[in-house]
Chains A and B, each alone.
Chain A
Amino acid sequence: MTTLVPLSAFIAVSGALFFVGVAGVLVRRNAVVILMSVELMLNAANLAFVAFSRRLGIVDERGSVFVIFVFVVAMLGASLFMIYRRGHTTGSRFDRARLRYLALVGALAAVFTILDYLPYVGLHDIPPVGTVLTLVFLYILSQSIVRSRLLDLYELAGRLGVLTALSFTLAGIFLLFHLFHFRQIHW
C-alpha cells in the first residue's frame, strides 16, 4: 500500500532537484560536473513523471514508460560525452578528429531519434523526418567506423548510388511479380 504523502510534496522535491541541476550547469566550470548536473535534472524529470503517473488516476503507466526512455537518453548522453572527452585527450591528431566526428554524428542521430518521440507527446503535425534522418546518420556512422577515413564523399556517394540502384532493381522485380499476380487473378 502506498502511504499518502501528497503529490505536491513529490513535485516540490523534483523541482528543487531540477533547479539544483540548473544551477550546477550555469555555475560550474568543470565539464564532468556539468554532465553530473544534467543527470540530476534528468532524474528530477523522472521523479515528476512517476509521481504524476502514479497519482493522477490515469489507467496506463504512460509516465513510467517515458522514464524508461529518459534512461536511454541519459545513457546515450553520458557515452557521447565520454567519446568527446576522449577525443580531447588522445595523442594523434587523426584519432582526435575521428572521435570528435563520431561524437558529433552520434549526437545528431540521438537528436533525430528524440524527434521520433514527438508524436507520442501530442505533436502530430510534424512529419516523421526523424525516422529517415536517423537511418541516414546511422549509415554515415557505420561508414565512419568501418572505413578508418573520416568521410570520403566520393566513396560514400558511390556506395549510396550502388545501394539505390540495388533497391530500385528489387522494387522493379517486386513490381513485375505484382503485375504478373494481378493479371493472373483477373484473367
Chain B
Amino acid sequence: MDAVGLLIFGALAIGIVGAGLAVVFVDRITAAALLMAFTFLCNAGMFVLLGAETIAAFQVPIYVGAITGLILYGVMFTPQAPRAYGLFFQRQTRWGAVLAALIALPVMTSAFSFHDAASLRPRGVDLPAIATSVFTDFAFPFEVASVLLLAAMVGAIVLVRREGKVGREGPP
C-alpha cells in the first residue's frame, strides 16, 4: 500500500512539475493550454491522494473544464500573428529567472521542515466537514462570492446580447 502510494505520488509530481515547465517553455499556445489542463488533472490526483475527494471532484469540472475552455476560446477568437522565437521571452528573462530562483531557494528548503501532525487519525469523507464549514463559519464570504459570480454572469449575458442587436441593425 505504501509503495503504491509513493509510486502514484512520484508519477503525479513528475506530471505536475514537468507539464508546468512545458507550459512556460512550449511555443504553441494551444499545446500550452492543454498541458495546463494536464497539470490541473494531476493536481486533482494529488487531492485524491490526500483524501480530499470533494475538492478533487470540484477541480475537474472547474479547472480542467471551465478555465481551460475559457482560455482556449480566448486563443481561438484572437488572431495570433506568427512571430520569431526570439520575441518569445521578455527582455529581462535572465533577471526574472534569477529573481525567481532567489525567492524559490529558501522557500523550497523550508518546505521540507513541515511534518505531519503527531496523532494523524484517519478521517472519513471530507464533504460533511466542508459543508459544515461553508454554511456556518464562512456563510458570509460564500454569499458574497455567489453575488459576485451572479453579477459577472449577468454582465456576460448583456455583452453577448448587445453584440447581436448591433449585428441585426447593420452598420450605421
Chain A residues close to B by CB (< 8 Å):
1-17, 19-24, 26-30, 32-33, 35-37, 39-40, 43, 46-47, 50-57, 59-62, 64-65, 67-69, 71-72, 74-76, 78-79, 81-83, 85-86, 89, 99, 102, 106, 109-110, 113, 116-117, 120, 131, 134, 138, 141-142, 145, 148
Query: B154 to chain A: closest CB distance in Å?
Result: 7
- How many contacts between A and B, using CB within 8 angstroms? 255
**Complex A-B: 24 CB contacts under 8 Å:** A2-B50, A3-B9, A5-B5, A12-B108, A16-B17, A20-B17, A22-B104, A26-B97, A43-B40, A50-B46, A53-B52, A54-B52, A55-B116, A56-B117, A60-B133, A68-B142, A76-B152, A79-B70, A89-B77, A89-B79, A102-B159, A109-B151, A116-B141, A134-B144
Given known A-B contacts A12-B108, A28-B24, A145-B158, A36 and B32 have beta carbons under 8 A apart? yes
Q: Say yes or no: B123 contacts A54, CB within 8 Å.
A: yes
Given known A-B contacts A3-B1, A46-B43, A141-B151, A51 and B50 have beta carbons under 8 A apart? yes
Q: Say yes or no: A17 contacts B17, CB within 8 Å.
A: yes
B26-69 CB mask vs A (1 if < 8 Å, else 0) is: 00010011001001100100110111101100110011001100
Q: Say yes or no: A10 contacts B145, CB within 8 Å.
A: no
Chain B residues close to A by CB (< 8 Å):
1-2, 4-6, 8-9, 12-13, 16-17, 20-21, 23-24, 29, 32-33, 36, 39-40, 43, 46-47, 49-52, 54-55, 58-59, 62-63, 66-67, 70-71, 73-75, 77-79, 87-90, 92-93, 96-97, 99-101, 103-104, 107-108, 111-123, 126, 129-130, 132-134, 137-138, 140-142, 144-145, 147-149, 151-152, 154-156, 158-159, 162
Q: Say yes or no: B63 contacts A102, CB within 8 Å.
A: no
B8 closest partner in A (C-beta)? A3
- Bound complex: CA of A28 vs CA of B27, how far in Å? 11
Q: Say yes or no: A8 contacts B13, CB within 8 Å.
A: no
Q: Say yes or no: A15 contacts B104, CB within 8 Å.
A: yes
Residue numbers in B under 8 Å from A78 (CB-CB): 67, 70-71
Main secondary structure of the interface of B (DSSP, over half): helix
Q: Say yes or no: A29 contacts B4, CB within 8 Å.
A: no
Residue numbers in A under 8 Å from B23 (CB-CB): 20, 24, 33, 36-37, 40
Residue with the greatest number of chain B CB neighbours at <10 A, chosen from A62, A64, A113: A64
- Bound complex: CA of A54 vs CA of B151, how far in Å? 33
Main secondary structure of the interface of A (DSSP, over half): helix
Residue numbers in B under 8 Å from A99 (CB-CB): 159
Q: Say yes or no: B88 contacts A29, CB within 8 Å.
A: yes
Residue numbers in B under 8 Å from A12 (CB-CB): 108, 111-112
B56 closest partner in A (C-beta)? A50
Query: B159 to chain A: closest CB distance in Å?
Result: 8
Q: Say yes or no: B100 contacts A10, CB within 8 Å.
A: no
A142 closest partner in B (C-beta)? B151
- Bound complex: CA of A83 vs CA of B104, how far in Å? 33
Query: A69 to chain B: closest CB distance in Å?
Result: 6
- Bound complex: CA of A94 vs CA of B16, how far in Å? 43
Given known A-B contacts A3-B4, A11-B114, A23-B96, A65 and B138 have beta carbons under 8 A apart? yes
Given known A-B contacts A3-B6, A78-B71, A13 and B17 have beta carbons under 8 A apart? yes
Query: A36 to chain B: closest CB distance in Å?
Result: 5
